[in-house]
């Protein structure tokens, strides 16, 4: 055999990119009394990037499939409990069971209502905000952050497993721009909200295409009517400065519902792309 050809055969496998190794992460979320916690939200991060999210089932169990190996951070949150966070490295299938600790002020509260805090009703998951002792101390933005299956940031509102989402208030689609909508949520007291409904598969009456979901904020009847409005401005400094300002107006009376918003922004994004290829030696 030609020596050069033999050397090529020996070295060729060394230059084939090593395939990514993926594992499964499973576990169960409970409290200190070993009671299973349903609808806990679990976010999985690699560095600062969110790579996967899920919620626990009726047994408190969860699973992430096909997770790349390496060091990751898991964050677990559930209404009425302190957030739990753990950093770990997985190079094979991993089981992570965690216990959540109740918020301290919950021990002093007596719950008289028979309605569950979170319940499944037909095609939707319902977070009964008015039953939460935290409602008096948070806004609608924070309430949404605590709603199972919802991922909300300063730039977007998303549902787990859905490509797009629309937000409704009392069954009416809200068409405000994202910035104005988030500012509105931050100025809306959670104590004015009766419940938040998560509709993963919207009924036919809503014109939807593709992988689409709905969030419906149901207001308490006593606060539905009237005027509301806000003005906001913010500045963000990354590689380049960005500025945004706007105003929104809301009117709700009987069968008449009007909302309008104007916003303006200026600034630039800097795109940075890094590709890494590992070759075994």
Task: Decide if pLDDT at 91 tops 80.
Answer: no
Mean pLDDT of 83-101: 88
- Residue bearing the bigger pLDDT, 14 or 25: 25
pLDDT, position 60: 93
pTM of the model: 0.61
Residues 119 and 78 in one domain: no
- One domain, residues 248 and 147: yes
DSSP 8-class letter at 16: S
pLDDT tens, residue by residue, 108-162: 444 444 567 888 888 888 999 988 877 777 888 988 988 888 888 777 888 887 8
166-197 tens-digit pLDDT:
899 888 888 888 888 888 888 888 888 999 99
38 within some domain: yes
When pLDDT is cut at 50, 70 and 90, the band that residue 77 belongs to is: confident
The pLDDT score that the predictor gives to residue 234 is 62
Say if residue 223 is in the same domain as residue 250.
yes
From residue 201, how far is each of 206, 208, 247, 264 by CA, in Å? Answer: 10, 10, 32, 34
Residue 136 lies in a domain: yes
* Same-domain status, 47 and 163: no
With respect to residue 277, please indicate whether it lies within any of the assigned structural domains.
no
Report pLDDT digits (tens) over 207-247: 655 678 899 999 887 655 555 666 667 676 667 776 667 66
- Are 46 and 174 in a shared domain? no
14 pLDDT more than 70:
no
Residue 132 in domain: yes
In a domain, 272, yes or no: no
Q: Dihedral through CA 9, CA 11, CA 12, CA 14, nearest 10? A: 140
If you count them, how many residues does the chain have?
281
Provide the domain limits for residue 59: 24-98
Q: What is the dihedral of CA 118, 121, 124, 126, to 10 degrees?
A: -20
| Most confident segment among 6-20, 22-36, 121-135 | 22-36
Residues facing 263 on adjacent strands = 246
Is 78 in the same domain as 212? Answer: no
Three-class DSSP category at 235: strand
Residue 7 domain-assigned? no
Residues 121 and 248 in one domain: yes
Which H/E stretch holds residue 215?
Answer: strand 212-219
208 shares its domain with 238:
yes
Looking at 63, 98, 133, the residue that finishes a domain is 98
User: Percentage of the chain with pLDDT > 70?
Assistant: 66
Res 28 pLDDT > 90: yes
Q: Give the pLDDT band of residue 5 (cuts 50, 70, 90).
A: very low
We report the CATH number of the domain holding residue 184 as 2.170.130
Question: What is the helix (H) or strand (E) element at residue 183, kind and residue range?
Answer: helix 178-186
Nearest to 134 by CA among 151, 152, 147: 147
Provide the domain count of the chain: 2
pLDDT classification of 62: cutoffs 50, 70, 90: very high
Among 43, 72, 98, the domain boundary falls at 98
Please check whether residues 144 and 256 belong to one and the same domain: yes
**273 occurs within a structural domain:** no
Report how far apart, in Å, the C-alpha atoms of 30 and of each of 10, 38, 105, 142, 193 are.
53, 9, 19, 23, 28
Most confident of 42-46, 58-62, 122-126, 224-228: 58-62
CATH code for the domain of 57: 2.60.40.10
Tokens describing residue 221: 């009847």
Least confident of 8-17, 168-177, 196-205: 8-17
Residue 86 domain flag: yes
**Both 71 and 172 in a single domain?**
no
Gap between the Cα atoms of 270 and 138, Å rounded:
34
Domain shared by 140 and 241, yes or no: yes
Query: How does the average pLDDT of the chain come out, rounded?
Result: 76
Q: Are 75 and 85 in contact (CB under 8 A)?
A: yes
| Residue 64 shares a structural domain with residue 128 | no
Please say which residue of 38, 63, 98 terminates a domain: 98
HSE (side-chain half, CA atoms, 13 Å) at 88: 17
Let me know: does 158 contact 152? Beta carbons within 8 Å: yes
């Amino acid at each position: 055999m030609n020596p050069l050809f033999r050397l090529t055969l020996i070295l060729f496998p060394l230059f084939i990119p090593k395939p990514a190794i993926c594992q499964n992460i499973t576990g169960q979320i409970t409290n200190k009394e070993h009671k299973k916690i349903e609808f806990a939200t679990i976010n999985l991060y690699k560095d600062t990037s969110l790579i996967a999210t899920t919620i626990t089932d009726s047994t408190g169990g969860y699973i992430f499939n096909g997770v790349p190996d390496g060091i990751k951070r898991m964050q677990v949150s559930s209404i009425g409990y302190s957030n739990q966070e753990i950093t770990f490295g997985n190079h094979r299938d991993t089981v992570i069971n965690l216990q959540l600790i109740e918020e301290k002020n919950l021990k002093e509260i007596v719950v008289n209502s028979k309605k569950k805090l979170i319940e499944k009703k037909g095609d939707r998951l319902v977070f009964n905000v008015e039953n939460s002792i935290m409602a008096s101390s948070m806004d609608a933005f924070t309430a949404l952050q605590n709603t199972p299956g919802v991922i909300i940031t300063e730039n977007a509102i998303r549902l787990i497993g859905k490509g797009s989402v629309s937000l409704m208030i009392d069954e009416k689609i809200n068409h405000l721009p994202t910035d104005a909508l988030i500012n509105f949520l931050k100025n809306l007291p959670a104590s004015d909200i009766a419940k938040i409904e998560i509709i993963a598969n919207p009924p036919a009456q809503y014109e939807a295409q593709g992988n689409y979901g709905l969030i419906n904020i149901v207001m308490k009847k006593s606060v539905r009517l009237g005027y509301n409005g806000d003005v906001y401005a913010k500045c963000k400094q990354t590689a380049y400065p960005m500025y945004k300002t706007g105003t929104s107006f809301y009117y709700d009376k009987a069968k008449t519902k009007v909302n309008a918003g104007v916003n303006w922004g200026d600034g630039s994004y800097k795109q940075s792309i890094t590709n890494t290829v590992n070759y075994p030696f």
